[in-house]
Amino acid sequence: MLSDAVPYRITVLLFEGVEELDAVGPWETLRFWQELTERDVVVRTESIDGRPVRCSLGLTFTPDGAIDDGPRPDLLIHPGGAGVETLREDQTHLSRLRSLAADGTLLASVCNGSLVFAAAGLLAGLPATSHWSEIDGLVSRHPDVDVRTGARWVDTGQIVTSAGVAAGIDMALHLIDRLEGTDIARKVSHVLEYPWSPEASTTVSAGK
């Protein structure tokens, strides 16, 4: 649960080749949470260098800043997209993710963003999921990951992974439910007109 004393800082990462809905779905869900909650929640978009990015399907996003500027986020949403193939080989970015995890940031991926977490060694020995088209690649590239199929999201505590595209909205609602409660998550899903029920969730915890 959130503290009333300090802002809860959320960063949605943007990068060249990011899948549009992977980023915007969780961003809008969490921004509505920011609007509806009485807690101090701050949602930002940040790119690697603070400059605009061109997405997988052609949209251009202008971020609020750069990922390494400002305070460390409490929650980082890492979308997927074609640009993941570059990021999963980017040792600076993988080191950044390991440092964020070590400092206590909650890390959440959408779609093949989980392959970046796996490349950073953050999913070793843990259950995780991804877009259906990426499952075989996750299994073959990272045999140390307990890959789950058919789950909308997998929550292991500090690392949360989701399936592709629209599943990022389900995951974001789950995170709101986890961080503040079911009532506020339902309010957000109602504003979004998005069908969501915690009773029908497919969340999986580590070791289960």
Helix axis angle, 20-36 relative to 167-179, nearest 10°? 30
Q: Is 111 a catalytic residue?
A: yes
Number of Cβ atoms within 10 Å of the Cβ of 116: 28
Measure CA of the first residue to CA of the last residue in the chain; give whole Å: 23
Give the list of residues 6+ apart from residue 119 with CB closer than 8 angstroms, or none. Answer: 88, 89, 94, 142
Closest CA to 45 of 130, 70, 95, 194: 70
Gap between the Cα atoms of 20 and 80, Å rounded: 9
**Backbone phi, then psi, for 167, in 5-degree steps?**
-60, -20
Q: Which of 18, 30, 100, 111 is catalytic?
A: 111
Residue 9: strand, helix, or coil: strand
- Return the HEC string of 37-57: CCCCEEEEEEECCCCCEECCC
Active site residues: 111
